[in-house]
């Protein structure tokens, strides 16, 4: 079972739809409808933190859930707000982006790691955000996996746990390779479950 934490965002059910098309058994819960212990009791195979209209500190259980998922070795994917939550949960700072980008396309460069495995670099993806993870504050346990030409972080991952984030929206119809990005994460999560 994949648990998707809904941060009250209009893109949540696009993610649900894409993940369902890829064969995931998706259960959706709002970020304030349960606590971390209730999530752990559900024993999800993986967790997805949805986009949302706020910052990580206002995203219900998302910050403590991210660190709890790391401790419990539950694979976790963060999209937009979820990506920012990963950065902040491990000690990075979330700051205002130099420009507000709502519905703009961005050119994503990457090194082919994790969920970017097998994808061309660069590719185009849709951005809807005014906040970013500040590269200068990125903790040692996280690494940048995707970026814009100006160096703005568009993807990150934990070095020792299956925890990945993307600032852009793979679930947007305008984003290239959205299904493949999500498929790659689901495959990694399934492999981690078998290895456990």
196, 195, 158, 179: which is closest to 78 by C-alpha? 158
Which strand (E) or helix (H) includes residue 149? none
Whether the Cβ atoms of residue 31 and residue 82 lie closer than 8 Å to each other: no
Classify residue 179 as exposed, middle or buried by CB count within 10 Å of its CB (0-12, 13-18, 19+). middle
Active site residues: 80, 169, 171
User: How far apart (Å, rounded) are the C-alpha atoms in residues 47 and 185?
Assistant: 11
Q: What is the DSSP string of 81-136?
A: HHHHHHHHHTT--EEEEEEEEEEEEEEEEE-S-GGGTT--SSEEEEEEEEEEE-GG
Task: State both tokens at 89.
Answer: 């949960």
Task: State both tokens at 171.
Answer: 């679930």
* Helices assigned H by DSSP within the chain: 12-21, 36-42, 62-72, 81-89, 178-195
């Amino acid at each position: 079972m994949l648990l998707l934490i809904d941060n009250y965002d209009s893109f949540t059910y696009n993610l649900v739809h894409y993940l369902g098309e890829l064969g995931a058994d998706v259960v959706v819960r709002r970020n304030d409808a349960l606590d971390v212990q209730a999530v752990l009791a559900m024993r999800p195979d993986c967790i997805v933190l949805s986009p949302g209209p706020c910052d990580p500190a206002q995203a219900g259980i998302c910050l403590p859930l991210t660190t709890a998922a790391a401790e419990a070795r539950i694979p976790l994917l963060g999209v937009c707000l979820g990506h920012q939550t990963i950065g902040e949960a491990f000690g990075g700072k979330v700051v205002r982006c130099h420009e507000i980008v709502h519905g703009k396309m961005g050119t994503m460069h990457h090194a082919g790691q994790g969920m970017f495995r097998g994808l061309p670099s660069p590719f185009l993806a849709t951005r809807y955000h005014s906040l970013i993870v500040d590269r200068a504050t990125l903790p040692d346990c996280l690494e940048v996996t995707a970026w814009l030409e100006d160096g703005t972080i568009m993807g990150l991952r934990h070095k020792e746990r299956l925890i990945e984030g993307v600032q852009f929206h793979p679930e947007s119809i305008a984003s290239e390779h959205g299904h493949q990005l999500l498929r790659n994460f689901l495959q990694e999560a399934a492999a981690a479950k078998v290895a456990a």
